[in-house]
């Protein structure tokens, strides 16, 4: 089993940031599972409450699943930033940015369409943006979970 490549992992105490890490994953069907393991490892190392870890696992998995399903880039970046009061998960890839449609609940018989609805339900705030200064720089989708670190 392939582990996510942690390209830029650092831990800083400056500016209220407890942790600022990033994993770079190959965009394939294993990526959502690897993203869940990554956020679990980082958040448990920071002694995050179980509810925060569980929500972060679901959010990371759903955002990476969308990147795998709809993206065109070869790699997916999963960034986790923990500051006093919140943990933010950002999933980005090199797929040109196009604004996401409004989130609507999936129908009872729909097999897909619940990912962003779950993200919206679990996150205090979430959104999407260009990963850089131009739409061609890629897409980033982020979600914030409140958490008072010990």
Residue 23's CATH number: 3.30.565.10
Domain count, the chain: 1
Output the furthest CA–CA distance in the chain (Å, rounded): 49
Are 56 and 145 in contact by the 8 Å Cβ rule? The answer is yes
Residue 81 located in a structural domain: yes
At residue 107 the predicted structure's pLDDT band, cuts being 50, 70 and 90, is low
Tens-place pLDDT, residues 63-78: 999 899 888 889 999 9
Whether residue 2 is contained in a domain is answered as no
For residue 45, tell me if it sits in a domain.
Answer: yes
Would you say residue 11 lies in a domain? Answer: no
In this prediction the pTM is 0.81
Q: Please answer whether residues 51 and 27 qualify as being in contact, where contact means their C-beta atoms are separated by less than 8 angstroms.
A: no
Judge whether 22 lies within some domain: yes
Up-side HSE of residue 21: CA atoms within 13 Å toward CB? 20
Instruction: Please indicate, yes or no, if residue 116 is contained in any of the structural domains.
Output: yes
Range of the domain at 131: 17-147
For 78-88, the pLDDT digits (tens) are 999 998 789 99
3-state secondary structure of 147: strand
């Amino acid at each position: 089993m392939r582990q996510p490549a942690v390209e830029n992992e650092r831990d800083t105490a400056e500016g209220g940031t407890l942790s600022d890490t990033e994993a770079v994953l190959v965009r394939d069907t294993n990526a959502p599972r690897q993203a869940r393991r990554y956020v679990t490892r980082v958040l448990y190392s920071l002694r995050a409450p179980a509810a925060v870890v569980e929500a972060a696992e679901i959010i990371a998995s759903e955002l990476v699943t969308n990147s795998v399903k709809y993206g065109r880039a070869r790699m997916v970046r999963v960034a986790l930033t923990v500051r006093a009061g919140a943990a933010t998960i950002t999933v980005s890839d090199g797929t040109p940015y196009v604004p996401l449609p409004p989130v609507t609940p999936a129908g009872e018989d729909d097999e897909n369409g619940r990912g962003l609805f779950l993200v919206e339900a679990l996150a205090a705030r979430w959104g999407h943006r260009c990963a850089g200064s131009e739409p061609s720089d890629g897409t980033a989708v982020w979600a914030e979970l409140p958490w008072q670190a010990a």
